[in-house]
A and B are shown apart, each in its own frame.
Chain A
């Protein structure tokens, strides 16, 4: 580990600082004292700059070039051409559209499946549901690939339990992930499955903070359960709803792991999404510049989306 501040030279500040301005060492106690906070930041700063800030900046530059990713001298500056290409690229448009289609599944469905039960449990003052919370929360901490692999076999048309049950009931179920019509909704449902418990737990935690007097007050005013929900529960959970909406929206727009492990974009391009297309373009098709432009677009779209949510929910600093 680094030794950013050896104690001895600092004795002088600590001694002097106590009398006048406590704790915050003013700048006049020598160069080392002035450097001290920077020394604390140094290790993190180095790693962060090299492995995060630099590549992030590199993305902006790389997205303005045409480059096959092999040797540096083949890179040529082409301005915004990659971005124009992306916007007019039919496959990128399809991928973007699929991300949009995933939003109701990844965002709205888990929101409702979490919010309504949480509100009911809270209003009925049900107790002892802690172990239920644990079970509900479990999918959220699992790796996306694992979720994909697990569902891929559960929905497997030959060996999977889902189609077995449906066939026993006399249905003739589709092949789900392999079906041109069903693949995208199926991926969406898997995403909804992975998120609803998380939403529920966040809402239950948020509900504990709403003072019960608020409920009593509206009840005295003769409000029914639905009015209670709309006038107390929803406003009281504004912050939690904003967090859930933005987290889920980001998951919808950046969807990658689950799709990679279930359909890999197929069948055809039926479940192609931006992140997958970006990786395939940059590394599969050796179009590093173009792939990076898609990555930047993806980041911008995500940023705009989550800012809109926070703005809409009146959160300035989430």
Chain B
């Protein structure tokens, strides 16, 4: 073996080691948290990576029941579904309209729909709170669903317009020659063709909604209408001394995300690369 290739192998191994270290540092906090969630407080002090003598599933029971995680979990799912489905339908329609039709004011309307890309929630959350108060929607799941559909529109419109523009025009024209209305063309011809992009978009909407923290923190005081992130915060504040139970609560939140991540890794990376523009 020449010195050159030996050096090459060595540097490869070093790079792999560095990468692996980077990966371990990224994952370790979660692993340690899962381990902690299965221990007693006593075992927690003994060793970090040590396995518990007997898995303390009661930490999960305690988080799920006493910590009201069952309620938060249910709310999170209702809100996620309530946001993602209408957001996908609406932004498919707007994306299609901007990609397919030429109409008066389309430029201004498109710019208007992109407003959400530059205006963060933080900039409008105070008036939004008072608007929801006037509508009598504070302390309800509507207060989480409706604003988050609105917040999804900018990114959705942008992405879906791109998706439809990338489909060859002839396909749509053929459908119209066949006598299909634009509405039928959208849902029966265009929608299936745009499905990969729609999937990616839906995934992004889901993660943003699942993780949203500021909005529920501000608009809902009643824990009955709270979602998981704020629920976890309440929980952490109340159970500060019982770390295993807090760790169990944290695990309840991140395991669904990990599962989702493993299932849809490729779309996710692609979606986030594109969604990065949203900021």
A residues whose Cβ falls under 8 Å from a Cβ of B? 1, 4-8, 10-11, 14-15, 17-18, 22-25, 34, 36-38, 40-41, 43-45, 47-48, 50-56, 58-59, 61-62, 69, 113, 117, 120-121, 124, 126, 129, 132-146, 149-154, 156, 158-159, 161, 164-165, 193, 196-198, 200-202, 205, 243-244, 246-247, 250, 254, 256-257, 260-261, 275, 278-279, 282-283, 288, 291-292, 295-296, 298-299, 302-303, 306, 318
Residues in B neighbouring A145, C-beta threshold 8 A: 213, 229-230, 232-233
Residues in A neighbouring B32, C-beta threshold 8 A: 154, 161
Residues in A neighbouring B207, C-beta threshold 8 A: 141
On whether the beta carbons of A247 and B180 are closer than 8 Å, the reply is no
- The residue from A58, A205, A257 contacting B127, defined by CB atoms under 8 A apart: A58
Chain A residue at minimum C-beta to C-beta distance from B133? A69
Residues in B neighbouring A144, C-beta threshold 8 A: 211, 213, 229
Query: Which 6 pairs of residues, A with B, have the shortest CB-CB distance?
Result: A58-B127, A299-B123, A40-B97, A7-B181, A51-B150, A143-B211
On whether the beta carbons of B115 and A56 are closer than 8 Å, the reply is yes
On whether the beta carbons of A41 and B268 are closer than 8 Å, the reply is no
**Given contacts A132-B23, A146-B250, A246-B279, A11 and B119 within 8 Å (CB-CB):** no
A-B contact list, 10 entries, CB within 8 Å? A18-B173, A37-B106, A48-B113, A52-B147, A52-B151, A129-B16, A139-B26, A145-B230, A146-B229, A153-B243
Residues in A neighbouring B12, C-beta threshold 8 A: 124, 126
B residues whose Cβ falls under 8 Å from a Cβ of A? 8, 11-12, 15-16, 18-20, 22-27, 29-30, 32-33, 36, 41, 44-45, 48, 86, 89-91, 93-94, 96-97, 100-103, 106, 109, 112-113, 115-116, 118-120, 122-131, 146-147, 149-151, 153-154, 157, 169, 172-173, 176-177, 179-184, 207, 210-211, 213-214, 217-218, 228-230, 232-233, 236, 243, 246-247, 249-250, 253-254, 257-258, 261-262, 265, 268-269, 272-273, 276-277, 279
Q: Nearest chain B CB to A244's CB is how many angstroms away? A: 8
Chain B residue at minimum C-beta to C-beta distance from A297? B123
Q: Nearest chain A CB to B10's CB is how many angstroms away? A: 11
Q: Nearest chain B CB to A87's CB is how many angstroms away? A: 18
**Given contacts A38-B103, A52-B119, A134-B262, A159 and B44 within 8 Å (CB-CB):** yes
**Given contacts A44-B91, A138-B27, A149-B246, A292 and B127 within 8 Å (CB-CB):** yes
- The residue from B36, B146, B181, B277 contacting A318, defined by CB atoms under 8 A apart: B277
**Given contacts A52-B124, A136-B23, A40 and B254 within 8 Å (CB-CB):** no
Residues in A neighbouring B257, C-beta threshold 8 A: 141-142
Residues in A neighbouring B120, C-beta threshold 8 A: 250, 254, 298-299, 302
How long is the Cα–Cα vector from A246 to B233 in the complex, in angstroms?
A: 28
Q: Which of B22, B146, B147, B262 has the most CB of A within 10 A?
A: B22
How long is the Cα–Cα vector from A264 to B218 in the complex, in angstroms?
A: 15
Residues in B neighbouring A197, C-beta threshold 8 A: 22, 26
How long is the Cα–Cα vector from A137 to B23 in the complex, in angstroms?
A: 9
How long is the Cα–Cα vector from A302 to B118 in the complex, in angstroms?
A: 9
**Given contacts A11-B181, A59-B127, A278-B122, A149 and B233 within 8 Å (CB-CB):** yes
Q: Nearest chain B CB to A172's CB is how many angstroms away? A: 18
Residues in A neighbouring B30, C-beta threshold 8 A: 138, 150
Residues in A neighbouring B151, C-beta threshold 8 A: 51-52
